[in-house]
Structure 1
């Protein structure tokens, strides 16, 4: 719900927020790519495994799971770009973006809900293997976001 709220807020008001702060979508795209690259490196190297949040410090569903892992710069930029591209198609385009957001977060919820069963099925070696593959794919997505952001910056010059 936290991720849906944050992404939905930026889908609706993101352009106004960025304009008020004088931040371009390209800058957000580059920062999102950098943060995704950091997460990808953690997945690839196994860094951060076994870290436990301080008891009582904060709700893990909000930080770090809700923000920035599920509703981070990458998903915010992707949603804002989807809304920007859907604008010419009108209400149907916005409804499609909204349905895609709900479907993606519902799929995430299913995987998180059944994570224990999935981990028992995959065992430790399968989990490590899938984590490394996901890290590699996430790194590629991050580099693509960085490249797209930098190219958009260069086009403006």
Structure 2
């Protein structure tokens, strides 16, 4: 028996990278933190990735039990995540809110950046499914390594958003904010619609 399941690691890593979409999270990250200082932006990246890691690890360990105990289905989680992202999209589109305070920066880093943007319903569902398939020590190590590797990629990607900010400038960030607000609203509606459809069909 192998001490490390390389194939399972690859499956976990590729699946979570595709779902969590590190590159796709950059516009939202810049939109929510572009007006802050470099130090604050780096701090936001740290908190967002740590929040996402905490959520994913928690659901890998206890996700199925928590959902069953609270009688929450994955479709319901999808709808809730979609509604939360829709509120964020409206803020980006309308330009609500000014310069965030340090406390607000932490809150934004946790919600919506950490969750549900990074650690959203899709990533949570995939993690629960992978955790169900863990039956050996090699698979446990592969799952843990896959989760950590994905979040390392997320952290590096958000940290390098500073380079993008230098290129596009503040006006570019404002444009990205409005455009991505529209796209994020569509993503939110689709996420909620998928959750409602799944909820209805399972009844």
TM interval, shorter chain, is: 0.7 to 0.9
Give distance in 1, aligned partners of 2:132 and 2:102: 44
What is aligned with 1:123?
169
The partner residue of 2:195 within 142, 149, 152 is 149
After TM superposition, the structure 1 = structure 2 runs for residues 8-157 of structure 1, keeping only pairs within 5 Å, are 8-54=57-103, 60-61=105-106, 63-72=107-116, 75-86=119-130, 95=142, 99=146, 101-102=147-148, 104-157=150-203
Gaps of 5+ in 2: 1-49
Residues of 2 paired with 1:11 and 1:76: CA distance? Answer: 13
The TM-score with structure 1 as length reference comes to 0.75
TM-score normalized with structure 2 length: 0.60
Q: Does the 8 A contact of 2:59 with 2:127 survive in 1?
A: no
CA distance in 2, matches of 1:88, 1:10: 11
Cα–Cα, structure 1 residues 3 and 84, in superposed 2: closer, same or farther, change >3 Å? closer
CA distance in 2, matches of 1:35, 1:154: 21
Alpha-carbon offset, residue 18 of structure 1 = 1.0
Distance 2:185 2:165 in 1: 23
Q: 2:63, 2:128 within 8 Å by CA — same for their partners in 1?
A: no
Write the distance in 2 (CA, Å) between the matches of 1:132 and 1:123.
15
C-alpha distance in structure 1 between counterparts of 2:152 and 2:70, whole Å: 31
| Alignment match, 2:18 | none
Query: More displaced, 136-145 or 104-113?
Result: 104-113
Task: Give structure 1 stretches of 5+ with no counterpart.
Answer: none
Q: How many residues align?
A: 151
SS in 2 for 1:110: helix
Residues 4 and 30 of structure 1: CA distance in aligned 2, closer, same or farther (over 3 Å): same
Shift of 1:121: 2.1
- Superposed CA RMSD: 3.1
State the 1:66 CA deviation: 2.7
